Structure 1
Amino acid sequence: MLRPRRDQARGADRSPEARRPALDPRPLPRLRGQPWCDDRPRPFDRDRGREPPQPDRNRHRRLCFGQADRGRAGGRAALVPGDVTRARGEPSAEFRLVAACCRWPTDVAAIRAAASAEPLAWPRVVRVARRHRVIGFVRRGLTMAGLDVPRRLDELYRPMLQRNLLHYAEAARLAGLLADAGIPVAFLKGVVLAELAYADQGVKQTVDNDILVAPHDVPPALALLDRAGYRLNDPRNIDGARLPLMIDLFRECQLVHRDTGALVDLHWRMQSLEQLAPEPVVADEARMVTVEGKPLPTILGEAMMIYLAIHGARHSWARIKWLADFNALLVKMDDASVAAMRDRAARDGVGPCIDSALIQCERRFGTPVPPEAYRSRRARALVWLADRLIFGPDETVDQHLVPGRYMRVWLASAAMMKTRPRFLAHVAWDIWVAPRDMLAMPLPRPLRPLYVLISPVRRVGRLAARGFARARSKTMRAPQEK
């Protein structure tokens, strides 16, 4: 905070130098969890005391450090930068440039307009692109617009492209192995979506391969993936007694390759929440798509669009990458196809998810959508919740730094997606019962309602053990400090 000294406030000198307030030499108050000696940037106003006043050209660069959510271990979360000079509902100039680069087909005029509208902090552009996993979009857009690509963006793009090619090779290999074993599968998102939307594996960042199988095919699929070099990563330590429980109560598991580190998410349900939408029959709805000369089975048409909309709404569109994928497929559809998609989503009870995705596409990318999409109050509520995470103070902050804030928005989004009692009961179950408690104590199907009582008791026990360990560590450190 800038304050004039008393001797200057009472002085008789009327010169401009004397009227200019001097900096208060006292240090700023220490933030909670902040060390005593640090050189991090603090809020400042470089224009105060100047004559004439200068335009505020760097308001989006002035950062302050606020205490993050206390959801991390020990309650000592990292200090996360948040932009306090911009209104919460207003995206930054860097985010608008990244969103312009995510339009498909690439809009060179929009990219140049966004780049010249305000002075840009290019390190922040790179952070926003990395946070939303759209490094390929931004690099392609800047190159086509004739703008200089930051060196850091090129450094991040090369390993991303290598990772994409690795997952493409693994998808082609696993598709052949699963077909030879007679297991019907469908690849979701990933390399298949990159081919359908962009016809280029260098634009969309592929983090893993999502493979959908029928629930009764999960054990043979896991055995085949184990022989192919993959091990179960999340959840771990699944034996014969816990495998049926995992299939009944979970929707997916993650596997990692022992040598290359390639990831596979094995799904036996498409939707993250039960009773949200009808599950497809993989053997009947899977269609072949040629990706770089290799056939891969996937789900096409309205089912794929509804799945992408539900996935984005469930995660509050926290990454603009998901919205860019939906928009790239939307621009290829005519008005009749969009109307048929909305009708099917309404029959399935997930109309607000589709409408919120359409609204976001029009707001972020300028894609024309039916005006009927704005009539749903729940769709508008989902859009409002998504704005809390997709840009603003969290546009450069990853989920693991502020888990509490993300969790609150996700729970509110889940309650807005569907209002049927059975669906809300499943949402309440997911909130109340921890998955680790179910896997730690496998129970037969008739006794599984007891998890409603077991999970809170185990959660209290974990909190008590954590507090005891923290108090013991402080007691052991006290003699050493003396």
Structure 2
Amino acid sequence: MTQVQAFAALARLVARGAGLGRPLPLADPDPDPATLLGLAQRHRVILLMERGWRDLAARGEAGPVPDLIVAAARQEHGRALATAAALARLARGLDEAGVKWLALKGPALAHQLYHDVTPRTARDLDILVDPHDLVPAVEVARRLGWTIADDWQRLAQLSGKYDLELAPAKPGLPPLEIHTRLGHGDMFAPRIDTVSAPHRVAIAGYAVPVLTGPDLLVYVAWHGARHFWFRLNWLVDLAGLLTATCDGQAVVSTSRAWGAERSVRAGSLLAERLLGIDAPALPAPSGTMMRNVARLVGWAETRLRIDPDHDHVVRRPMSFLWTIRETRSDDAGWRGLLPLAKRLWLPRECDARQVGVGAPLAVHLVARLPLLLNRLVRDVAATAWARRR
């Protein structure tokens, strides 16, 4: 089974498991389970794949679900329950501290899509908080078992990045990401105070605030487009939201307000092509928008079919190519290159620690160029050496 064949089989199984679109038969009714399981693990769709396989088996279109996939799905089910429990504890702590926040993706999105927290695999938790509540949110997370460097505020000032990554310090806790806005610079500006009032859904017995309606769909589309849907689960999320909506005008209006129309249209087209869904009718785009959407879909199809763990994805300097394209996934297009330049110029944590976190910002800015060039030269040399061998 080739990579392309395995991905096509996985997409069809997952679409069945998620209850999406027109159920497409497998080209091979007896695909290699080990190959599919490895791919499903990397695309984080094990439970949906197992559901799809069970559906095919019940219809007599495939053999019984292989034992190794059943065992992996059982393990994933337990992980999903533990992640949901962690979100409920965090939610209670944030609410008690008076933090204005809402949950993004993860168990909350699984509940909204399937009325069950387990079908959607989540390796971490993502939350959006009011920028003024960032410090108390970090304090709550630390108290509940997550860790972050004591100098995180200084690092955030130096890098201009307030998307924090907290590591678990207790068994069973997933990593936690705390965001203060849904994007970089002014390209995708919504913060928690600019989105519609959050709805609450019950997760492990606690009401968790979430995005809903067009806001949720546009956010999921934007997030997937930023990463070119390199994990299939992000496209499945969007497909589920698209099939549940019938107001294409509201979706496009919201996407334009958020600067993410390109993401919504590309995601809708991809979901139709790869998952066989019947996407809602959207108002006709302009010619320029359609060309940009076609370009984004082409990039996404290429990226989605590359194995998520293939070294081509992360090997520098080619990985910088994805950063530039990522910027162009927003409606800002080439105007987004200025914020991108700012992101590249500001020091990252590794550079800040090498120079000294306590050093003035001017020193970090001066040191950034030689540090970046040194890294690029070493990466180019390593790539050239690997090719010669």
TM bracket (short chain): 0.7 to 0.9
**407-416 or 317-326, larger mean C-alpha shift:** 407-416
**What corresponds to 2:103 in structure 1?**
187
How many residue pairs get aligned? The number is 365
**What corresponds to 1:389 in structure 2?**
303
Do residues 278 (structure 1) and 192 (structure 2) align?
no
**What corresponds to 1:425 in structure 2?**
338
**What corresponds to 1:398 in structure 2?**
309
Cα distance change, pair 462–348 in 1 and its aligned pair in 2 (3 A): closer
Do residues 267 (structure 1) and 183 (structure 2) align?
no
**What corresponds to 1:33 in structure 2?**
none
1:218-233 maps to which residues of 2 (within 5 A)? 218-232=134-148
**1:187 and 1:296 in contact (8 A); partners too:** yes
Do residues 412 (structure 1) and 319 (structure 2) align?
no
**2:128 and 2:192 in contact (8 A); partners too:** no
Shift of 1:374: 9.2
**What corresponds to 1:287 in structure 2?**
199
**1:314 and 1:413 in contact (8 A); partners too:** yes
**367-376 or 248-257, larger mean C-alpha shift:** 367-376
Which of 206, 231, 234 in structure 1 is aligned with 2:122? 206
Which of 111, 122, 125 in structure 1 is aligned with 2:36? 125
Shift of 1:424: 1.9
**What corresponds to 1:341 in structure 2?**
251
**1:167 and 1:262 in contact (8 A); partners too:** yes
**What corresponds to 2:274 in structure 1?**
364
Shift of 1:282: 4.6
Which of 169, 172, 196 in structure 1 is aligned with 2:88? 172
| Secondary structure at 1:318 match in 2 | coil
Which of 367, 371, 378 in structure 1 is aligned with 2:292? 378
Cα distance change, pair 165–301 in 1 and its aligned pair in 2 (3 A): same
**What corresponds to 1:142 in structure 2?**
53
**What corresponds to 2:385 in structure 1?**
none
| Secondary structure at 1:145 match in 2 | helix
Shift of 1:443: 7.7
Cα distance change, pair 368–110 in 1 and its aligned pair in 2 (3 A): closer
Q: Per-residue CA shift, 1:35-73, capped at 9, x if unaligned?
A: xxxxxxxxxxxxxxxxxxxxxxxxx45xxxxxxxxxxxx
**What corresponds to 2:368 in structure 1?**
455
C-alpha separation between the residues in 2 aligned to 1:464 and 1:401?
A: 18
**What corresponds to 2:239 in structure 1?**
327
| Secondary structure at 1:274 match in 2 | coil
**1:102 and 1:137 in contact (8 A); partners too:** yes
**1:211 and 1:267 in contact (8 A); partners too:** yes
C-alpha separation between the residues in 1 aligned to 2:182 and 2:120?
A: 21
C-alpha separation between the residues in 1 aligned to 2:347 and 2:64?
A: 48
Cα distance change, pair 304–400 in 1 and its aligned pair in 2 (3 A): farther
Query: Where does structure 2 lack aligned partners over 5 or more consecutive residues?
Result: 58-62, 381-389
Shift of 1:459: 3.4
What is the identity, as a one-letter code, of the residue corresponding to 1:299? L
Shift of 1:132: 0.8
| Secondary structure at 2:103 match in 1 | strand
Cα distance change, pair 385–239 in 1 and its aligned pair in 2 (3 A): closer
Shift of 1:166: 0.8
**What corresponds to 1:151 in structure 2?**
67
Larger Rg: 1
**1:185 and 1:286 in contact (8 A); partners too:** no
Cα distance change, pair 330–238 in 1 and its aligned pair in 2 (3 A): same
**What corresponds to 1:70 in structure 2?**
none
| Secondary structure at 2:165 match in 1 | strand
**1:286 and 1:298 in contact (8 A); partners too:** yes
Do residues 352 (structure 1) and 262 (structure 2) align?
yes
Cα distance change, pair 136–201 in 1 and its aligned pair in 2 (3 A): same
Cα distance change, pair 243–360 in 1 and its aligned pair in 2 (3 A): closer
CA RMSD of aligned residues (A): 3.0
Shift of 1:270: 2.0
**1:315 and 1:410 in contact (8 A); partners too:** no
C-alpha separation between the residues in 2 aligned to 1:286 and 1:109?
A: 32
Shift of 1:207: 1.0
Identity, % of aligned positions = 22
| Secondary structure at 1:110 match in 2 | coil
Instruction: Select the structure that is richer in helix.
Output: 2
